[in-house]
Amino acid sequence: MEGSFFSFHFLPALLIFLSLTSYINFSSAARPAADKASTKFIRTSCGTTTYPRLCYTSLSAHASVIQTSPKLLADTALAVTLSTARSTSSLMSKMVQSHGLKPREVAAMQDCVEELSDSVDQLRKAMGEMTQIKGSNFRLVMNDIQTWVSAVLTDEDTCTDGFAGNAMNGNLKTAVRARVVKMAHMTSNALGLINSYASLHN
C-alpha cells in the first residue's frame, strides 16, 4: 500500500521532471542550430564586403540578434560602427590635449575631432532612419542613409589626410591612422551591407 501511495504521488513530479528535461534538451539543441544558421548567414553576407574578416569578427558576437535578417544585419553593422566612431572621437579629444604636440599636429587633431564628431552625427541619423523604413518610403529613406554613411567615409579620409607627410609625429600619426582606418573599414563594410539590403527591394 505504501508503495502504491508513493508511486501515485511521485508520478506527477516524475512526469514534470521528464518534461522539463526534454524541453531543456530540445532548447539546447535548437539554440546551437539557430546560432549556426545565423553565423553562417553573417559569414556569407560579410563575404561580399570590402573587409570580410573584420566584418565577421565585429558582427558574429551579435548573431542571436541578427539571426538571418538582412535588415538586422545592416542595423547592427551601423550600431557597431557608431560605437567605434564614438570611442575613436573620445580618444582623439583626449589626445589633442596632450603636451608636447606641435601646432600643426594640434590643428590636424582638432580637424580630425571635428570630422569624427560629424561622423557620429551622420551615423546616428542613419540608424534613426533605418527604424523609419516602410514599403512606401523605402527608396527615399534608403537614399538618405546611403548618403550619410558615404559622407562618413569622406570625413574619415579627410581626418587621415591631415596627418600626411613626414613633418607629423610618427607615433601620433600611427596611433591616429590605426584607429581611424579601422573605423573607415567598418564604415565601408556597413555601407556594403546597407547596399545589399537595399538591393533586395529594387
Q: Are 43 and 50 in contact (CB under 8 A)?
A: no
At 18 the pLDDT is 47
- 55-71 burial string, b = 16+ CB within 10 Å, else e? bbebbeebbeebeeebe
> What's the CA gap between 20 and 71, in Å, rounded?
35
At 202 the pLDDT is 67
In terms of Cα–Cα distance, which of 55, 73, 38, 54 is closest to 196?
73
At 168 the pLDDT is 67
Cα-Cα-Cα-Cα torsion 34, 38, 40, 46, nearest 10 degrees, comes to 180
- For helices 70-95 and 2-46, the axis angle rounded to 10 degrees is 70
At 162 the pLDDT is 80
Q: For each successive 10 residues of the chain (202 residues), what is the average pLDDT?
A: 44 47 45 76 96 96 94 96 93 81 83 92 95 86 95 90 71 82 95 95 74
At 33 the pLDDT is 58
DSSP 102: -
At 149 the pLDDT is 97
